[in-house]
Amino acid sequence: MKKRLLGNQGLEVSALGLGCMGLNFSYGQALGKKEAIALIRAAFEKGITFFDTAQIDGPFTNEELVGEALAPIRNDVVIATKFGFNFQDGKPTGLNSKPEYIRQSVEGSLKRLNVEVIDLLYQHRVDPDVPMEDVAGTVRELIKEGKVKYFGLSEASAKNIRKAHAIQPVTALQSEYSLWWREPETKTMSTLEELGIGLVPFSPLGKGFLTGKIDESTRFEQSDFRNTVPRFSAENRAANKQLVDLIETIAKRKNATPAQIALAWLLAQKPWIVPIPGTTKIHRLEENMGAMNVELTNADLTEIETAASQIKIQGHRYSEGSQKMIDE
């Protein structure tokens, strides 16, 4: 597995990471603990060294799972987690990035992950009630205390990225980015390049849609959060198939799968981009990693760009409630 640098503070990770959320949270039927641990360890054996989790995933249980799975290989991997939500009775109840709560959250994550230091700590969502300078200052103190190595933000605006970076250098921004959600290109990527900050795209396969395995007739399990996403209405899925058709055309020519083309496209955008696709299946893990062997030429990229620019994606990527938590 090739390596990439996230940011300019020296954090090196595998060029593809593993988003661990879906192993036991949000995408319908969860894997059993034994199977989830086996998948995480298989990812490492195949070359992945970058693993992403968050307090809200579960909540809390995903951190515990990731910590247990990676314990035997702790010194050989990079673990990222996130703070920023209040919880009551095991459910998130809104944003909270007050300095004392960040400290409390970090202590909890250290215990659940069973680690002495968190490699990459993200603020999960910008809290409008807490100055970004206070957030960055608190993380800076935690770094000095040896409890955190690197600082990241998630779904933050360019304005808040700059505020944070002025206090404590930001290593990575985690945001949704793929062929069907390209807002980072106009909102944040120029700032990231200027400041030397890496980009970690979550949902790089469009929450599964860009794999070509989902169409307007697909039915999701009741607990699958995609049931609440406007972009996944049957009508919008039918309309958005144009993008999948484009990707499939390139895939056939490259003797690759649509998922591999979607990931290869991301990897080709910038050398400081590290996507974190998630999966519950070993064969999908292997398929995703095959994207590293797909070479998209400049002609390929121009063809994709030209065709994609003619396609208008239908439906918002978040429910109204979730959208309110995005830093514009």
Q: Is 7 left (phi over 0), alpha (psi -120 to 50) or beta?
A: left
Q: Which residues contact 168 (CB under 8 A, 6 or more apart)?
A: 136, 137, 139, 140, 143, 151
What is the rounded average pLDDT of the residues 174-180? 97
pLDDT class of 30 with cuts at 50, 70, 90: confident
What tokens does 79 get? 């673990």
pLDDT class of 138 with cuts at 50, 70, 90: very high
Query: What's the pLDDT tens digit per position in 42-83?
Result: 999 999 999 999 999 999 999 999 999 999 999 999 999 999
pLDDT at 318: 82
Asked if residues 266 and 204 have their Cβ atoms less than 8 Å apart, the reply is yes
123: closest CA among 91, 167, 89, 69?
167
Q: How far apart are CA 48 and CA 41, in angstroms?
A: 9
pLDDT at 26: 77
Q: What are phi and psi of 214, to 5 degrees?
A: -120, 130
Beta strand residue intervals within the chain, DSSP E: 3-6, 11-14, 18-19, 50-52, 78-83, 85-88, 91-95, 118-123, 148-154, 170-176, 198-202
Asked if residues 221 and 29 have their Cβ atoms less than 8 Å apart, the reply is yes
pLDDT class of 144 with cuts at 50, 70, 90: very high
pLDDT at 87: 95
Residue 17 scores a pLDDT above 90? yes
- Residue 3's Cβ-side half-sphere holds a number of Cα atoms within 13 Å equal to 9
Cis geometry, peptide bond prior to residue 128 (ω within 30 degrees of 0): no
pLDDT at 325: 80
pLDDT at 242: 96
Q: Could you give all domains of the chain from N- to C-terminal order, each with its CATH number? A: 3-205+269-294 (3.20.20.100)
Residue 28 scores a pLDDT above 90? no
What is the rounded average pLDDT of the residues 296-323? 92
Query: What's the pLDDT tens digit per position in 76-110?
Result: 999 999 999 999 998 999 999 999 999 999 999 99
Handedness of CA 14, 285, 57, 185 (dihedral sign): positive
What tokens does 40 get? 């995480």
What is the rounded average pLDDT of the residues 266-276? 98
Query: What's the pLDDT tens digit per position in 211-246?
Result: 999 999 999 998 888 999 999 999 999 999 999 999
